[in-house]
Amino acid sequence: MSKRTVVDEMLAAHGRVAENLERKKMIQSAVDNREALVAANGALATWTPPESTGRSPKDTLIVKRAASEAKIDWDSPNNIPVSEETFEMLFVDAVDALRSKDLLYVTDRVLGADSAYALPVRTVTDQALTALFTDNMFRPLPDDLERSVFADQGFTLLALPYDKLDREHYEGRLRTLADGKVSDLAVVIDLDQRVGIVYGSAYCGSVKKLMFSVMNYMLPEAGILPLHCSANEGPNGHVALLLGLSGTGKTTLSADPERALLGDDEHGWSDAGIANFEHGCYAKMVNIDPDKEPEIYNAIMHDGDYLEHGSIVENAMLYPDGHFDFDDERLTPNSRGSYLLSELSNIKVSSVAGHPQTILFLTADANGVLPPISKLDPAQAMLWFLMGYTSKLAGTETGIVEPVTTFSRFFGEPFMPCNPDVYAGMLGSRMKSYKSEVFLVNTGWSGGPFGEGERMDIKLTRALVKAAMNGDLKEVAYLDDPIFHVKIPQSCPGVSSQILNPRETWKDKNSYDKRAQKLAGEFAAHFEKAYGKKGIAAEIADQCPGR
């Protein structure tokens, strides 16, 4: 009997199932159940336990089965295997836990705006707020779902955000924590049986990223490249992609009133063009500035009847008068807002577009040694795509409180389960076929490292991004960076030329040189470890800093 059948039979026998509730009723249920409070502006405010304010990568597992084993890169530290036997235990425990609940919520949605590859997903949970989150983030069933290559391959997601696993039951099967206890939470994906379980993680992002990982596994076999990116389209049909890890500015920079947004985080690139996976956005809210990020701020903070609003604010300070303080980080630096794309002022309703003319790789360099923008030739672009360098920022994962240098291939390694040549090969062929221009954008620090220099001003970054998209950087002179092998523009309309060269922003040039060489050494060491035996083409390998 399939897992989907087991779940459906449990639901049929349960008796109290709220299936595909009207949105207003989901919102009201979340309030009535005290899963959230209504803020003064009508948004819903919720808080998770301290261990659930971000993703928990070490508790995110993939079932190792013979059918899919060779397709998954088990060398990646993010693809942590779990046995079939342990998954069966988790599945039984999850179904039993759901069976014991007074009321269950079920939503049937899809991931993918292009119905040619929309993936049906059924979410079963005991939390109305989780159901509402899927209503925000996953798309309504399209009328022509039957044309999807996945029409008969639906995915089932079981979510028990506030339940905890029996530690003794999983002794020796799940990871052991620093205190010697077994972890009591698990986020598990069975790619063969098409079942996911979120058990004990109340962070809404666990639901979203689990399904993103599923899409990233399933799409390549259908000839579609999944990308961790935002996408927008200009009035002239110019399509741009912005790739980057959490905290690098995908959501902020893509929410541009002059360009129609397709989506802020997850897209597929097929032979037909670009299509968003999602129905909404999930943006960081900490220190959000309404002047610098008006689109995101207004999407969450506009006033309205809470039954019409439905935006979810997770782990932000809320005062007794119902007003948020997004500058207060005492709860977590990872406060988040989930809202419908339709809350933004300028979106492309279909969330599909043609092939991208401009691709931006976003990095938040806490070393302060990368230029605010640089151009990449095809070989350089492939190298930076493989490396996916950034500084992991506070709040994106549990335990991260200071920026940490990280290399996350394809700017999304935790969510890319397949072998690296799959994604790299597909991007390389598409960039060449559609002549996409690629830029590296540093949204991190300038004038010194984190703690000494200053974070790039969002207005400066917006000006540089606009110049890249408008073609203003096509004819300017470039200087080859001998350390990082990128091309630094010597001028940009409306931007001081001094800020373009990172070395010139440091008072102590020797300190810059030492810091830059240190980072280049980290690049070389990581490349050798990750790709030294992978047979990467010499023209790409030669672009690695430090080599």
Structure tokens at 287: 């220190």
Mean pLDDT of the chain: 95
HSE-up (13 A, CA, CB side) for residue 312: 29
Question: How far, in Å, CA of 130 to CA of 35, rounded?
Answer: 9
**pLDDT tens digits for range 172-231:** 999 999 999 999 999 999 999 999 999 999 999 999 999 999 999 999 999 999 999 999
Question: How far, in Å, CA of 517 to CA of 510, rounded?
Answer: 11
Helix (H, G, I), strand (E, B) or coil at 319: coil
Structure tokens at 190: 């069975």
Question: How far, in Å, CA of 470 to CA of 157, rounded?
Answer: 42
Sign for the CA dihedral angle at 194, 270, 389, 252 comes to negative
Q: Catalytic: 265?
A: yes
Long-range contacts made by residues 6-11, C-beta under 8 angstroms, separation at least 24?
Answer: 6/91, 6/95, 7/95, 7/122, 7/124, 7/156, 7/158, 10/95, 10/98, 10/99, 11/104, 11/106, 11/124
Structure tokens at 324: 């948020």
Query: What are the residues whose beta carbons fall under 8 Å from the beta carbon of 122, sequence distance 6 or more?
Result: 4, 7, 106, 107, 108, 154, 155, 156, 157
Query: What are the residues whose beta carbons fall under 8 Å from the beta carbon of 192, sequence distance 6 or more?
Result: 63, 65, 67, 68
Domain ranges of the chain: 3-31+48-222, 235-257+355-541
**pLDDT tens digits for range 446-487:** 999 998 999 999 999 999 999 999 999 998 999 999 999 999
Q: Catalytic: 228?
A: yes
- Give me the phi and psi of 478, to 5 degrees please: -125, 150
**Catalytic entry in 251, 254, 363, 396:** 251
- Whether residue 440 contacts residue 461, with contact meaning beta carbons closer than 8 Å, is answered with no
Q: Catalytic: 250?
A: yes
The yes-or-no verdict on residue 413 having pLDDT over 60 is yes
Structure tokens at 14: 């349960």
**Catalytic entry in 56, 246, 254, 406:** 246
Question: How far, in Å, CA of 80 to CA of 57, rounded?
Answer: 9
The yes-or-no verdict on residue 58 having pLDDT over 90 is yes
Q: Which residues pair with 269 in a beta bridge?
A: 225, 274
Query: What are the residues whose beta carbons fall under 8 Å from the beta carbon of 477, sequence distance 6 or more?
Result: 489, 490, 491
**Catalytic entry in 122, 209, 392, 430:** 209
Structure tokens at 447: 């004038």
How is 90-146 classified by DSSP, letter by letter? HHHHHHHHHHTSS-EEEEEEEE-SSTTS-EEEEEEES-HHHHHHHHHHSBPPPTTGG
What pLDDT was estimated at residue 405? Answer: 85
The yes-or-no verdict on residue 530 having pLDDT over 70 is yes
Among 251, 244, 265, 230, smallest CA distance to 458 is for 251
How is 376-402 classified by DSSP, letter by letter? E-HHHHHHHHHH-EEEEPTTSBTT--S
The yes-or-no verdict on residue 86 having pLDDT over 90 is yes
**Catalytic entry in 59, 126, 265, 365:** 265
Q: What band does 399 get if pLDDT is binned at 50, 70 and 90?
A: low
Structure tokens at 380: 């350089």
What pLDDT was estimated at residue 394? Answer: 59
Query: What are the residues whose beta carbons fall under 8 Å from the beta carbon of 225, sequence distance 6 or more?
Result: 219, 268, 269, 270, 423, 426, 427, 430
Q: Catalytic: 547?
A: no
Q: Based on the number of CB atoms within 10 Å of its own CB, is 517 exposed (0-12), middle (13-18) or buried (19 or more)? A: middle
**Catalytic entry in 139, 208, 284, 336:** 336
Question: How far, in Å, CA of 324 to CA of 336, rounded?
Answer: 12
- Whether residue 50 contacts residue 334, with contact meaning beta carbons closer than 8 Å, is answered with no
Structure tokens at 466: 């606009």
Question: How far, in Å, CA of 301 to CA of 290, rounded?
Answer: 9
The single residue listed with the structure tokens 């010139």 is 504
- Whether residue 296 contacts residue 288, with contact meaning beta carbons closer than 8 Å, is answered with yes
- Whether residue 352 contacts residue 462, with contact meaning beta carbons closer than 8 Å, is answered with no
Q: What band does 1 get if pLDDT is binned at 50, 70 and 90?
A: confident
**pLDDT tens digits for range 128-172:** 999 999 999 999 999 999 999 999 999 999 999 999 999 999 999
Question: How far, in Å, CA of 330 to CA of 312, rounded?
Answer: 19
Q: What CATH code would you report for 3-31+48-222?
A: 3.40.449.10
The yes-or-no verdict on residue 395 having pLDDT over 60 is no
Quote the percentage of the chain above a pLDDT of 70: 98
Q: Catalytic: 251?
A: yes
Structure tokens at 377: 């030739």
- Whether residue 440 contacts residue 361, with contact meaning beta carbons closer than 8 Å, is answered with yes
Give me the architecture of the 235-257+355-541 domain, per CATH.
Answer: Alpha-Beta Complex (3.90)
Question: How far, in Å, CA of 71 to CA of 61, rounded?
Answer: 15
**Catalytic entry in 55, 122, 139, 259:** 55
Query: What are the residues whose beta carbons fall under 8 Å from the beta carbon of 462, sequence distance 6 or more?
Result: 253, 256
What pLDDT was estimated at residue 398? Answer: 61
Q: What band does 402 get if pLDDT is binned at 50, 70 and 90?
A: low
- pTM for the model: 0.93
Among 430, 423, 426, 429, smallest CA distance to 408 is for 423
Q: Catalytic: 336?
A: yes
**Catalytic entry in 250, 355, 409, 430:** 250
Q: Give 494 or 86, the one with higher predicted confidence.
A: 86
Query: What are the residues whose beta carbons fall under 8 Å from the beta carbon of 12, sequence distance 6 or more?
Result: none
Which amino acid, residue 107? T
What pLDDT was estimated at residue 166? Answer: 96
Sign for the CA dihedral angle at 108, 113, 115, 118 comes to negative
What pLDDT was estimated at residue 141? Answer: 98
